Structure 1
Amino acid sequence: MSLNPDLFTSVYKPDVLSCLADLSNDEVFTPPDVANRMLDMLPQELFRDPETKFLDPACKSGVFLREIAKRLIAGLADKIPNLQERCDWIFKNQLYGIAITELTSLLSRRSVYCSKYPNSPFSITQFDNVQGNIIFHKIKHTWQNKKCIYCGTAENGDLNDIAREGMESHAYEFIHTLHPEDIFKMKFDVIISNPPYQLNDGGNGKSAKPIYQLFVEQAKKLNPRYLTMIIPSRWFTGGKGLDDFRKTMLHDKRIRKLVDYENFKDVFPGVDLAGGACYFLWDRDNTGSCEVTNMTDTVQGRMIRDLDEYDVFIRQNKALSVVRKVLSWNKHNRVLSDVVSARKPFGLPTNYEPKDNGVPCYFIQRIGKKYADPKDIDDSKGYLSKWKLLAPKAPIAGQTDFSKPVGFYYDGNTRIAAPGECCTESFIILGAFDSEDEVLAYRTYIYTKTVRFLLLQTVVSKDVTKKNFCFIPDLGHYQGVYNDQMLCKKWNIAEDEWEMIDARISAVGGE
């Protein structure tokens, strides 16, 4: 069989994998241009070394292995002049993949070998088996206490929520073992992937837990020279199943590059996920600060930073100087995360049924203010006798692109609850005070763009909790009216920094 030398070295338009990446799907396909940007972060001499071994532990379309093959075919031309011999060597000795489903295994082999079956006469190189080096094995979940001990999905969960092709169980082979090194029984120089993002965990409604962090952690166990993955950016602030992962990532000095997209659609056209996406380069043998790149439609900002400067990662490089100034001013280290209530401030869940009489209670907007049974109210924090500023727990529901102006609190979604009034879990308490004048003054402080900008630095999804207020100073006693001019002067915020704040936060009246 004679090979067309342009087959893997030319980029055809339209590219079928580019078309796949435009489709909306929970198992998000990686566009070829994004795969190549990730490959560009690696030392390019890797693609001129016939001993370099690459692994994609979560193959979907095979795009990573295909693009690596193109680079190796070009890079090894001097070392292995014969094209067929070169391809045979590359595909049999350098490229390895683990597919996430049987269907994606066929798609990946078709992309990489030009045939679903690499032992067929149509394959660009001949293997003696039907899988080649892109494998798929049906793995079973291992149940304990009705949860999988590896991925956490529920034993009795709706398989339709976690299956995408027939009756796939989505027990991904790479993360369903304590010994990933036994899968191929070899060392890898580079692990690169776009892992699955979440699985049903058996919680209320359509509850799901993130699993992409499991792929990152498992890849590190293999101790490759380089690791790069593209994952949702929600880990920046932690959350469900991600708190330990966030701490580990922020303290890991081997993460040398981090590229962050606030708009998920800038990476995956046709797919919408709040908080954006990022990819990183983990360099086993080189530690130090990280080059952080912010990507928007028109701006690419780079800065060398320590990811663990704060417990919460500040994704915007330009915002870092503002946070530093505010925290430097706040020498007493009193912040609103110590003031704002936890979720369910009165112990009443979102689905609490209104009563005909009792304690006045604020429910979700369509219900309004009704009543709660006094026996159902938990007032262990002493909120009931106070003047309270209530705010929705999901104030930015519906907005997923945080590169556009973001709004949080305004007259349309906050409530001032008088003494003797409570609320369900639909609200959190931003502050509780002895007088109406103080809660009104506090509300003007919360409404300023500067305060809401500080809040934005910790937010990557629609939900806001008390931990998101960790950069906002607690002024202690509130009186009068607060405005941005006053706060910029107090915190020494420069004109160009204010312009950034003004552009990123929606005006109260315009929300």
Structure 2
Amino acid sequence: MSNDFYSGIYNPDVLSCLANLSNDEVFTPPEVANSMLDMLPQELFSNPNTKFLDPACKSGVFLREIAKRLLTGLEPILPDLQQRIDHIFHHQLYGIAITELTSLLSRRGVYCSKYPNSVYSVSRFDDAEGNIRYKRIPHRWKNGKCVFCGAAQSQYDRDEMLETHAYELIHTTKPEDIFKMKFDVIISNPPYQLSDGGGNGASAKPIYQLFVQQAQKMNPRYLSMIIPSRWFAGGKGLDEFRDRMLNDDRIRVIHDYPEASDCFSGVQIKGGVCYFLWNRDEHGDCSIYSHKGDAVQGPIIRPLLEAGCGTFIRYNEAVSVIHKVMAKNEPSMETLVSTRLPFGLPNTFKGNKVKNSPSDLLVYVSGNDREVRGSAAYVARNVISRGTEMIGWHKVYIAKAGSGSDSFPHPILPKPFYGAPDTVCNESYLVIGPFKDKQECENVMSYIATRFFRFLVLQKKNSQNAAKGVYQLVPQQDFSKPWTDAELYAKYDLSDEEIAFIESMIKPMDLTGGEE
């Protein structure tokens, strides 16, 4: 009877349609919501006292799918359907909508009426909100930024008729006071980012971690959220969050989708997405599932922080490869890679197209000539504010931004190119070196071109950015000779299965031709 109750009303499933929309506030497909609910102990849905909260309601899909399970699980206890419906909706399901529009959509999805005090609501409330609240919250501005979420005042200090996107959960110091009750389960797909005003309005600050942190303050028994996977590697606003998460042994399950479109059809999110289960009362290693297309690898039960390398190894199939590489205890390529702004020249610096003085240096910048890697210009030597010791090196340049599409197999890195002495670059590139001559640089580039090299980079690279730290797991080699994948596979005794996985993930790289 309980399944008939919802299936008769939702035909076709409008939530499945909405899940195909693409923006920073991605709608959750019902099948994904149910996969997240499957991670919970199912006896929760047979307990009339279990309380559930979605603190970032958009379509109401989590509350709706929870209601379906409760309608079945509570039938032996509350056999009368209407009594069961009233109990579930009034005493077990709660939500905080992120906008006024999504509050109406969520109520329509859960109560079958956008106004739960109307005659059309499956369970009548005394007010128009029911248990899915929406309250317009102001940002708290200081020096042009919101002190809670970091949003730019120039972008979100709006007229009262417009949404401010000041989400209630993350704009309070006491989230537990919103409903003034304890929740057994908090489950959600929160908004992912907000404009921080940088880059002429194009720069955005991640905010999903704030939802996780606020939910943990409420101390639920279980917490599950679906969020971008960029936190695996840290980065902009995420380093502290990453460290806290990877050192929290109450994270019991992670489902990782390196290609977001495998989870959210038609949606591209750099670095993919994941959902997790945090269990307040249980500690131990984590069950990790890796999703690729329709295939699932796992669970592999392992610590989030891999012993010896202090990082999270995203792909289960990569763990054995990492162990074999680390067993040789070789120095890391990271020590040969410069930090960003190697010569103090920002991205906006494009140099002079002509040489004005015999002492001018050749400078490689992006964007001047797409037919060659590292478009060339000139810069006066006295303009170089840092990295002067690298000017005379034989070196290798490589772009600090990734390359290629969002799907696998993927090139992971753009093509490197040789940097002769008396050359420099702007912020678009990193410097690898020093090396004794051009031939040694070419041998290094042959190593970078291997799938093996770029597969190890992938383990630390969960966004387009390829800064110095992504090279941590890559070992140095004898650069008196060039390298091939076959030699590296043999050196590290990789199995046929390990090789097949590497080659399924990484595109071949041809060092001839133009920039990728």
Which residue does 1:451 correspond to in 2? 453
Note the alpha carbon deviations across 1:325-374, whole angstroms, 9 max, x for none.
Answer: 101112x5x21112111111111111113223221111114342011132
Residue 495 (structure 1) shift? 2.7
The residue identity in structure 2 corresponding to 1:147 is: K
Q: Match of 1:329, SS?
A: coil
Q: Which moved more, 1:281-290 or 1:10-19?
A: 10-19
SS of the counterpart of 1:394?
coil
Q: 1:158 to 1:179 in 2, by over 3 A?
A: closer
Residue 210 (structure 2) aligns with: 214
Partner of 2:498: 497
How far apart are residue 317 of structure 1 and its match? 0.4
Q: 1:392·1:414 contact (CA, 8 Å) conserved in 2? A: yes
Query: Contact 2:270/2:463 (CA < 8 Å) preserved in 1?
Result: yes
CA-atom RMSD in angstroms: 2.0
- Correspondence 1:351 to 2:348: yes
Deviations 1:119-177 (A, max 9, x none): 111111111111010000000011122211110111223669xx9x9611111000000
Count of matched residue positions in the alignment of Structure 1 and Structure 2: 498
Map of 2:174 onto structure 1: 179
Contact preservation (8 Å) 2:350, 2:365:
no
* 1:364–1:426 contact (8 Å) kept in structure 2: yes
- Counterparts of residues 395-474 of structure 1 (less than 5 Å): 395-397=402-404, 399-401=405-407, 404-409=408-413, 413-474=415-476
Q: Name which of structure 1's ranges 350-359 and 19-28 shifts more when overlaid on structure 2.
A: 350-359
For residue 67 of structure 1, report the CA deviation from its aligned partner.
Answer: 0.5
Partner of 2:190: 195
Contact 2:449 2:510 (C-alpha < 8 Å) held by counterparts: no
State the 1:25 CA deviation: 2.4
Give matches, 1:70-469, under 5 Å.
70-157=68-155, 167-205=162-200, 206-302=202-298, 303-309=300-306, 310-330=309-329, 332=330, 334-355=331-352, 356-357=354-355, 358-367=360-369, 368-380=375-387, 382-397=389-404, 399-401=405-407, 404-409=408-413, 413-469=415-471
Normalised to the residue count of structure 2, the TM-score between the two structures is: 0.93
Q: Offset at 1:409? A: 4.6
Q: Which residue of 1 aligns with 2:372?
A: none
Given residue 297 of structure 1, which amino acid in structure 2 is its aligned partner? G
Q: Secondary structure at the match of 1:229?
A: strand
Gaps of 5+ in 2: 370-374
* SS of structure 2 residue aligned to 1:181: helix
- State the one-letter code of the partner of 2:230: R
| Higher alpha-carbon deviation: 165-174 or 70-79 | 165-174
8 Å Cα contact 2:350/2:377 also seen in 1: no
CA contact under 8 A between 2:255 and 2:291: conserved in structure 1? yes
| Matched residue SS, 2:469 | helix
CA distance in 2, matches of 1:359, 1:380: 13
Say which SS state the counterpart of residue 282 (structure 1) adopts. strand
* Offset of residue 12 of structure 1: 4.7
Secondary structure of the 2:105 match is: helix
Q: Tell me, in whole angstroms, the C-alpha distance in 2 between the residues paired with 1:319 and 1:72.
A: 40
**Identical aligned pairs, as a percentage?**
50
> Tell me, what secondary structure is at the counterpart of 1:6?
helix
SS at match of 2:4: coil
Q: What's 2:52 paired with? A: 54
Which residue matches 2:482? Answer: 481
Cα deviation for residue 414 of structure 1 reads 2.4
Contact kept in structure 1, 2:342 and 2:387, CA below 8 Å: no
Q: 1:247–1:311: 8 Å Cα contact kept in structure 2?
A: no
Aligned letter for 1:400?
D
Contact 1:114-1:123 within 8 A present in 2 as well: yes
Please give the TM-score of this superposition, normalised by the length of structure 1: 0.94
| Cα deviation 1:198-256 (Å, max 9, x = unaligned) | 00112223000100000001100011000000011111111101111111111111111
CA distance in 2, matches of 1:428, 1:377: 15
Does structure 1 conserve the Cα–Cα contact (< 8 Å) formed by 2:94 and 2:132? Answer: yes
Q: Cα 1:26–1:478, aligned 2, differ >3 Å: closer, same or farther?
A: same
